[in-house]
Amino acid sequence: MHKVTLYATESCPFCKKAKDYLTSLKIPFTIIDVSLDQQKLEEMVEKSGQLGVPVIEINNRIIKGFNQKEIDRQLGKGAT
């Protein structure tokens, strides 16, 4: 089972794409709205080195932005 966290904001279109993509894969994930939680925002910046969202953490590996290819790679869903 993969541990997936999506750091996002409600108004971010790429965050919605990431959320929709993970949902389509039926991957359970935790979503954290960093616009509502200063402590989680600081945690995201510490992990990723950036203020921009989305930041996706999969099994303690950070993906900056919505990068479908990297999400697939981290989830072991390589191209066939």
Is pLDDT of 1 > 70?
yes
Average pLDDT over residues 2-26: 97
Q: What is the pLDDT of residues 18-75, one digit of tens each?
A: 999 999 999 999 999 999 999 999 999 999 999 999 999 999 999 999 999 999 999 9
What is the Cα–Cα distance from 80 to 69, expressed in whole angstroms? Answer: 13
The pTM (predicted TM-score) of the whole model is 0.93
What is the Cα–Cα distance from 39 to 1, expressed in whole angstroms? Answer: 27
Query: How high is the pLDDT of residue 80?
Result: 40
Query: How high is the pLDDT of residue 77?
Result: 85
Q: What are the residue ranges spanned by the domains of the chain?
A: 4-74
Pick the CATH number of 4-74 from 3.40.30.10, 3.30.460.10, 3.30.830.10, 3.30.1220.10: 3.40.30.10
Query: How high is the pLDDT of residue 78?
Result: 63
